[in-house]
Structure 1
Amino acid sequence: MEDHLRNRDRLAKEWQALCAYQAEPNACSIAQSEANLKKNRHPDFVPYDHARIKLKADCSPSRSDFINASPIIEHDPRMPAYIATQGPLSHTIADFWQMVWEHGCTVIVMLSPLAEDSVKQCDRYWPDEGSSLYHVYEVNLVSEHIWCEDFLVRSFYLKNVQSQETRTLTQFHFLSWPAQGLPATTRPLLDFRRKVNKCYRGRSCPIIVHCSDGASRTGTYILIDMVLNRMAKGVKEIDIAATLEHIRDQRPGMVQTKDQFEFALTAVAEEVNAILKALPQ
């Protein structure tokens, strides 16, 4: 890993090859249709037709099955490991909670602030305090815990007012990843990931991961998490570029820049180092 990072030439070539990589099939006509255009925060970051999360249209206030979200499968096609999605827009918040409900999600990973340099990155899809109703989903903010300067953790109590069913879920909100750039070091993000996975352990539902566009920071986080999870399971051969191609087959534009790709490699190398140091010598 360290040689890989030191070898600038190899890194540049690998990134060039990744940029040239074209997923097949790659049509995105549903997301770009007249009816759905306004549901996309960024016109360039939309799900593929063949790999998108479909809402139950008869339960949706807009009677549509579209949401800008993609299932990301690790190995079991029936059970996505993640749902990569954009930061909800004010008029897609009910769709977002419908997706959370329909997929039984218990963990949300949020990687962008609500606004940055007075540019809105994501609409607030939870109440400041107390509860808010989004279509038939009542969201109660139970607690908000500032873990450290880099992230905070919120607990929600989600109620479907139609069926009277209730569930609890946890949102992990990472604060120190600027839109145009990277966290200063990999450590805070790796600590954050450990917290997320400790809470998620043993669940059989996808983790929802979103930033603003649902591709750049979202893709980088999913790439790091997927590679480290594979290592933890004892997979001997780890090819990070091939893993990214696998992720890009399921959502376009995942990991936007060479710097983000390099950051993912660095994070994996750091975590492996930390694990090796902790082993009895």
Structure 2
Amino acid sequence: MDPTSVSERENVTLICRTKCTLDPITAYSWYKNGQPIPNSNTSSPVYSLFSVSSEDTGRYSCAVEGHEDLPSAEETLTVTYGPRNTSVSVSPSGEIMEGSSVTLTCSSESNPPVDKYTWYKKNVTSSKASGQSYSITNIISEDRGEYYCEAENTIASNNSTALMIIIAEKQTSVLTAAVGIIVVVLGVILASCLSGFMWFRKKASKSTFDTRHTADDGQGDSSAVYVNISGMAMTPAAAQTVATFDQEQDEDVQPTVEQAAEEDPSVLYSTVNKPRTKKT
């Protein structure tokens, strides 16, 4: 059998030869990689393969029917083809943190093997790098985008599909966490302030109510003056003066003083009335 090396999609003819004298009606059997090829028994020493592909690559042999134990030597059929099934893988996978490194790897099937790899970034005319692997160190936000590779051998070339590189900005992540912490802290402080303010307002409102209540009680006579003399030592003359004023006070003031005294029994109130000018 004649050895053959062909390109993909070509037609191939295998011929079985022997030095023995054979019967004109001798049949032949064909084998691939040591296994019989189905429906390959023929009375002709010729076996044809049409539009070969990479699946037809292998070791072929033949034998004369009835002497299958004496097959021919194996000959290799080689089918060459350009790169195909080209793809890109990335390590590490997933979202890439800004400042870290990433490696892209190009894979492709071809015969003969790929002898040139070229890297491109989508929407950028010039190539980024060459070689089966492409590494980006200290990656930044400008490196995000779609990357693909071109695989090439002596027959043809083939591009992979584009792979998207997503980059997470480190500063954004830290800032987001910091803002979250600040919001929580401010919320706690604000809640504490509001609680203290409401308590203060409540206390202040009560004091204001007491003051207004006492003041309202004295509106019956705007000329009345209240003096807190609790705990003060009084001389006999001062006591006499107070007694004199008490005798001269109007009847409409007395309930007011008494009501004020009821507010706080521990405080002694004295009312001083301004002398009234007699009308002529």
* TM-score above 0.5: no
> TM-score scaled by structure 2?
0.17
Q: Report the TM-score, using the length of structure 1 for normalisation.
A: 0.17
Kindly indicate which of the two structures has a greater share of residues assigned to strand: 2
Looking at both structures, which has the greater relative contact order when contacts are Cα pairs under 8 Å and sequence separation is at least 6? 1
The structure number with the bigger radius of gyration is 2
From the two aligned structures, give the one with the greater helix fraction: 1
